[in-house]
Amino acid sequence: MNLIIDVGNSYVKLAVFKGIDIEYKTTVELNRILKELQAIKKEFKLIEHAIISSVGKLKKSDLSAISKYFDIIILDANIKVPFKNLYKTPKTLGVDRIALVCASRINYSNNNVLIIDAGTCITYDFINNKNEYLGGAISPGIRVRYKSLNNLTANLPLLETEMPKNIVGESTEESIHSGVIHGVLNEIDGVIESYKMNYLDLTVILTGGDGKFLSKQLKSSIFANPNFLLEGLNFILQYNSN
């Protein structure tokens, strides 16, 4: 069994894999990670290896304690990966993007794959059917767009995410929802179509915190997978534990 620890700014995603199947998954506040890991260790006694992503957000004392519980691998830009990385600045490539590309190798190893992670940022990562990672793009996510309109203007309110009923906003709030959500949807559909012009056999994966919200609204054909990052981290752990 493998333990996946994906550390965010305030929360930590934890998952236990048996082979390629998720046996357990939870999200806890960062300050509760040790308590939750103790419970996981007690329940899943067959965990052999663990991987930590975004380790810089952990306290040194927490990392030291986790190291006593499990045989851990820390994900960084130097880790061994099952693809050729042609990114011009590989040391700056986010570990989450590395994990997402690795996840694409599980079921789509001979495909051209575009992975879209809709979270705080929207990241686009492309790997071709020659197993070459070429790069992608980064743009502001949904919440960043709402917050930017509020922070950088004098009179626009900060709104909660909401699917607009109409493309024509009949009030300031409706206009903000239309601009943000339709802007994101048109961006994603446009990026997908641009890739399809060059790669006809393109497979598109949508994941991330806003993936479910966006998936039913996109015009393009996609595979929505909320666990894609966790699957990629598990793949990396297996690949580096053999």
Give the residue numbers marked as catalytic: 96
CA distances from 20 to 44, 203, 233 (A): 16, 21, 11
Q: Is 11 annotated as a binding residue?
A: yes
**Does 219 show up as a binding residue in the annotation?**
no
Residue 95 in marked binding region: yes
Residue 189 labelled as part of a binding site: no
Answer yes or no: is 67 a known binding residue.
no
Residue with the two structure tokens 């949508």: 206
55 is in an annotated binding site: no
> Residue 207, annotated ligand binder?
no
Known binder of ligand: residue 196?
no
- Say how far apart CA 21 and CA 220 lie, in whole Å: 28
Whole-angstrom distance, CA of residue 141 vs CA of residue 185 = 11
* Residue 123 labeled ligand binder: no
Question: Is 212 labelled a binding residue?
Answer: no
- Rounded Cα gap, residues 125 and 111, in angstroms: 13
Q: Where on the phi/psi map is residue 31: left (φ > 0), alpha (ψ -120 to 50), or beta?
A: alpha
CB 91 within 8 A of CB 77: yes
Residue 143 assigned to a binding site: no
Distance between CA atoms of 235 and 152, rounded to whole angstroms?
Answer: 41
**44 contact partners, CB below 8 Å, separation of at least 6:** 1, 3, 16, 23, 24
How many residues belong to the chain? 242
Residue 124 in marked binding region = no
**8 marked as binding residue:** yes
* Phi, psi dihedral angles at 137 (to 5 degrees): -155, 160
Residues 230/96, Cβ–Cβ less than 8 Å: no
6 is in an annotated binding site: yes
Cα distances (angstroms) measured from residue 66 to each of 34, 45, 59, 231, 232: 7, 15, 11, 21, 21
Q: Which residue(s) pair with 50 in the sheet?
A: 3, 72
Annotated binding residues for ATP = 6-13, 120
Annotated binding residues for substrate = 87, 94-97, 172
Annotated binding residues = 6-13, 87, 94-97, 117, 120, 172
Annotated binding residues for K(+) = 117
